[in-house]
Amino acid sequence: MPGLALLVWVPLVAVVATILGALGALIAELPPASLIEALAAPETRFAVGLSLRASLTALGLALLLGVPTAWLIARRRFRGKALVETVLDLPMVTPPLVAGIGLMLLLGHEAPAGRALSGLGVEILFSPAGVILAQTYIATSVIVRAARAAFGAVDRGYGDSAATLGVPPFWRFLLVEIPIAGRALMAAAVLGWARALGEFGATLMVAGATRLHTETLPMAVYLNMASGRIDIAIACALVLLALAFALLLALRLLSAEKPDPLHDEDPHARIAA
């Protein structure tokens, strides 16, 4: 059926070629020596350091906030749940720039929340803390959604079993539901981390783009493209790409199918056993 073959293969080739083309253009733009030099530049090193520190902190916070929230949504029924779920999904679908403006206004000195925080001596806007806040905001939304599906896939029977075996609710969550949802939760964390690393719009609004202060990797790409230091911009872009590639690989490994513990057994595994 050449018609069908044409219909499905041509788009595939076009998409893959575009992706590889953009990637190749990025890599080919700089001679290797300049690339190494740009990678070693203090500004690049600063951006890598801040991005890793901020995104990992944001990931930790997002997990602390997102995993219990996801469990509650997956397991409990309460009044207004549908509304709460919609609100929780909102940051994921609003343009980050818009989310960022909202956060900026919320924490500005004009707003009660901002005044209260600055009364306590906490300054978040236009500081590295703002970077963490913006990244946490976006990552939490991603993690809530993915972790909710992860918990939803865990049969309630496990929690019930643990209850009848004398395990109180908090420990059921920790000893049974989290480990059983383990791989899916790790995948959720990887997705959240990826979103935090690449976060730009909300960070720009909340933390600003200040060289060597709130300069994450995406921010460094933006600032250096704007100021003409293309070598640094490309070095930072390539670091982001490498990290994204590593995360994708991790995700793929995590979601590689193990034999389903409840149902289908892998016949090959069985013979091996």
Binding site for other proteins (CB under 8 A): 155, 157-158, 160-169, 176, 179-180, 182, 258-262, 265, 269-270, 273
| Identity of the residue, 24 or 182, whose beta carbon is nearer to other proteins in the bound complex | 182
DSSP summary character for residue 80: T
C-alpha 105/C-alpha 101 separation (Å) is 6
Q: How far is the CB of 269 from other proteins (least distance, A)?
A: 7
Residue 63's CB: how many other CB atoms inside 10 A?
Answer: 21
Cα–Cα–Cα angle for 257, 262, 267, nearest 5°? 60
C-alpha 38/C-alpha 118 separation (Å) is 38
| Identity of the residue, 79 or 258, whose beta carbon is nearer to other proteins in the bound complex | 258
C-alpha 218/C-alpha 237 separation (Å) is 7
Residues 47, 236 contacting (CB under 8 angstroms): yes
Closest to 144 (Cα-Cα) out of 177, 204, 185: 185
End-to-end CA distance of the chain: 44
| Identity of the residue, 75 or 211, whose beta carbon is nearer to other proteins in the bound complex | 75
Q: How far is the CB of 260 from other proteins (least distance, A)?
A: 7
| Identity of the residue, 110 or 260, whose beta carbon is nearer to other proteins in the bound complex | 260
Instruction: Spell out the residues 6+ positions from residue 23 whose beta carbon is closer than 8 angstroms to its own.
Output: 241
| Identity of the residue, 119 or 168, whose beta carbon is nearer to other proteins in the bound complex | 168
